Amino acid sequence: MNVVVTGGSGGLGREVVRGLRMRGAKAAAVSRRTGVNLATGEGLGSALAGAELIVHAATHPTRYRAVDLEGTRKIIRVLADRPDPPHLIYISIVGCDRNPYPYYRAKYACELVLERSGLPVTVVRATQFHTLVATIARACAHGPISLQPLVSFQSCDHRWVAGRLVDTALGEAPPAYLRAADLAGPERTTLGEAVNLIRQAAGKRPPRVVRLPAVGGTLRAFAGGTNLAGADAEIGGSSFRDSLRN
State mean pLDDT over 223-234.
96
Q: Helix 71-80 vs helix 102-115: angle between axes, to the nearest 10 degrees? A: 10
Residue 192 has a pLDDT of 93
Displacement of CA 144 from its chain's centroid (Å):
32
pLDDT band at 211 (very low <50, low <70, confident <90, very high): confident
Fold classified for 2-188+216-243: Rossmann fold (3.40.50)
pLDDT (tens digit per residue) in 170-203:
999 999 999 999 999 999 999 999 999 999 888 8
Residue 70 has a pLDDT of 97
- Rounded Cα distance, 40 and 63, in Å: 12
The chain-wide mean pLDDT, for the chain, equals 95
Residue 40 has a pLDDT of 95
Q: What would the DSSP string read from start to end of 80-103?
A: HT-SSPPEEEEEEETTGGG---HH
State mean pLDDT over 207-218.
90
State mean pLDDT over 83-112.
97
Beta bridge partners, 4, equal 28, 54
pLDDT (tens digit per residue) in 125-153:
999 999 999 999 998 877 788 888 999 99
Spell out the residues 6+ positions from residue 108 whose beta carbon is closer than 8 angstroms to its own: 92, 96, 97
pLDDT (tens digit per residue) in 16-29:
999 999 999 999 99
Predicted TM-score of the model (pTM): 0.95
